[in-house]
Amino acid sequence: MTEKPLKTARNRNISDRAKANAEKQRRFRERQKEAGKKLVRGYVTPEAKVCYDEIREKTGWTDSEAMSNAMRLMYAAYKCGQIKLLTEWLRKNER
């Protein structure tokens, strides 16, 4: 007889944690929107969104292709020791 109340209490505990987590996520999304950030695949600044839109416009890439190619470019820059050069270019060109 004691198993049934334990399962019910355990289910309530899991449900309460899930609700608390959902509430935290909701508050986080609201804070990001209030900060002027927009969700693409993560929250980005308005400046980053402009760059993202420019890349998609010039290349014609889908969202998935843009993200995949961005990761490839970053990895290639990393492997070739060019991260500093890339970062300097972004700063110089106000990106």
Structure token digits, residue 19: 């609700």
Mean pLDDT for the stretch of residues 18-31? 91
Q: In the predicted model, is pLDDT for residue 83 greater than 70?
A: yes
Mean of the per-residue pLDDT values of the chain? 84
The pLDDT of residue 62 is 87
**Is the pTM here over 0.85, yes or no?**
no
Handedness of CA 27, 31, 32, 37 (dihedral sign): positive
Euclidean distance between CA atoms 83 and 76, whole angstroms: 9
- Give the domain ranges of the chain: 1-35, 45-95
Q: Which residue has the tokens 């400046």?
A: 47
Position 50, amino acid = V
